[in-house]
């Protein structure tokens, strides 16, 4: 059955002319892709358009996919670039209306914040969340992308290095710097309770 094939087998089938195999890949990853694009594009209709464009580009580029990274890592990179290109084409919009990281990441990161949802911190919950989202949004793009891929999407350092096309050492440095900046923003709220804990 096509549905039980690995990504590598599905890719091989697509290359051999099996369009149904690509539909399986679309169904498997479309929700994760939409989630990714939603971090950069706020309008729901535009998110779906960018997702569709991503899959079209991926389908056309698939003959050149050599399997040096996982299919999703490869697709992720195409989605990231397609979303950025979409925003560049809309530079006539007022600043801040294109990238709404706060709304897109609120639901992803909420579960992580629940670890600190004690009676002492409950009253500060909204302020804490706002501080996290603002801290992430204000990071330089390379740091923001690295910390998001690691903490929100759960990618390994190797996968992040492939996605961002840089050495693993650079990835580790970017994530360390991003965590340090975020921690410094949160320390006044937690009085040190988050020290060393990343997100």
Q: Domain containing 109 — which CATH number? A: 1.10.10.10
Q: Name the more confident of 85 and 130.
A: 85
CA dist list (Å): 98 to 42, 77, 134: 6, 19, 15
Q: Is residue 132 part of a domain?
A: yes
- Assess contact for 112 and 199: CB atoms under 8 A: yes
> Do 64 and 35 fall into the same domain?
yes
Q: Is residue 174 part of a domain?
A: yes
Retrieve residue 67's tokens. 């399997």
Counted domains in the chain: 2
Q: Is residue 198 part of a domain?
A: no
> Do 81 and 119 fall into the same domain?
no
Up-side HSE of residue 155: CA atoms within 13 Å toward CB? 29
> Do 58 and 38 fall into the same domain?
yes
- For residue 111, the enclosing domain spans 101-190
Phi-psi region of 67 (alpha: psi -120 to 50; beta: other; left: phi over 0): left
Phi, psi torsion values for 198, nearest 5 degrees: 60, -135
Q: Give the pLDDT confidence score for residue 186 in this predicted structure.
A: 76
Q: Give the pLDDT confidence score for residue 107 in this predicted structure.
A: 37
Instruction: Using a cut of 0.75, tell me whether the model's pTM lies above it.
Output: no
> What is the overall mean pLDDT for the chain?
76
Indicate whether 27 pLDDT > 70: yes
């Amino acid at each position: 059955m096509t549905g039980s094939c690995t990504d590598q087998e599905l890719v091989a089938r697509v290359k051999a002319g099996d369009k149904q195999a690509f539909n399986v890949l679309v169904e498997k990853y479309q929700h994760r892709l939409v989630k990714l694009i939603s971090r950069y594009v706020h309008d729901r209709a535009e998110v779906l358009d960018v997702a569709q464009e991503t899959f079209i580009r991926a389908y056309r580029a698939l003959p050149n996919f050599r399997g040096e990274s996982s299919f999703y890592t490869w697709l992720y990179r195409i989605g990231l670039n397609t979303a950025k290109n979409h925003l560049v084409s809309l530079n006539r919009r007022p600043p801040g209306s294109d990238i709404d990281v706060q709304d897109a990441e609120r639901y992803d990161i909420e579960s992580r914040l629940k670890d600190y949802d004690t009676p002492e911190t409950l009253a500060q919950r909204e302020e804490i969340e706002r501080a996290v989202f603002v801290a992430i949004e204000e990071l330089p793009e390379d740091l923001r992308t690295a910390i998001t891929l690691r903490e929100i999407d759960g990618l390994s350092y190797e996968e992040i290095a492939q996605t961002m096309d840089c050495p693993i050492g650079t990835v580790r440095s970017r994530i360390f710097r991003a965590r340090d900046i975020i921690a410094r923003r949160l320390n006044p709220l937690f009085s040190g309770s988050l020290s060393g804990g990343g997100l």
